[in-house]
Amino acid sequence: MTLDQLVRILPFARPRAAKYLGWLNATMTEFDITTPARQASFISQLGHESAHLRYVEELASGAAYDTGRLAFRLGNTPEADGDGQKWKGHGFLQVTGVANHAACAAYFGISVERISAWLVTPEGASRSAGWFWKTHGLNELADAGDQVAVTRRINGGINGLADRLALFNTARRVLA
């Protein structure tokens, strides 16, 4: 993908696009996101999740991840005050919760203590998105053309679906 293509897909990313382009291209190669359908799906999803490469850390405080079923599912423990804030979403596809941060850290050989800081770097934000993409079977869903299923797997629902689909359709045209 060229810088021009990335900016045509994510026009509001123009001020940041060059900073991330090399890592995004390397990530797509590393995680076999190598067909136009896979690349269009990947770039459109991370474009939506990051507001056009603007955010690599969840805007919310993370307090919602401290208690209840969601905290349990994410591996956060109510006894560890502040787990939700410490392990809130990081990276382009928002690695969230202690369990997901630990799995990502293990995959990349980074200590759990350092993973949050790495996830907000251009390398970490990009490569963690590729790791999540590959380990959650998103290449297969992209191959099938099922952007609703891709969105559900990333988001847990269909939040922002219209924007994701608009970005996907643009990406398909640009990358064709």
Q: Which pLDDT band, with edges at 50, 70 and 90, does 28 fall under?
A: very high
Fill in the DSSP letter of residue 64.
G
pLDDT at 42: 98
41 and 132 Cβ atoms separated by less than 8 Å: no
Q: Which pLDDT band, with edges at 50, 70 and 90, does 44 fall under?
A: very high
Q: Which pLDDT band, with edges at 50, 70 and 90, does 80 fall under?
A: low
| pTM for this predicted structure | 0.93
pLDDT tops 70 at residue 89:
yes
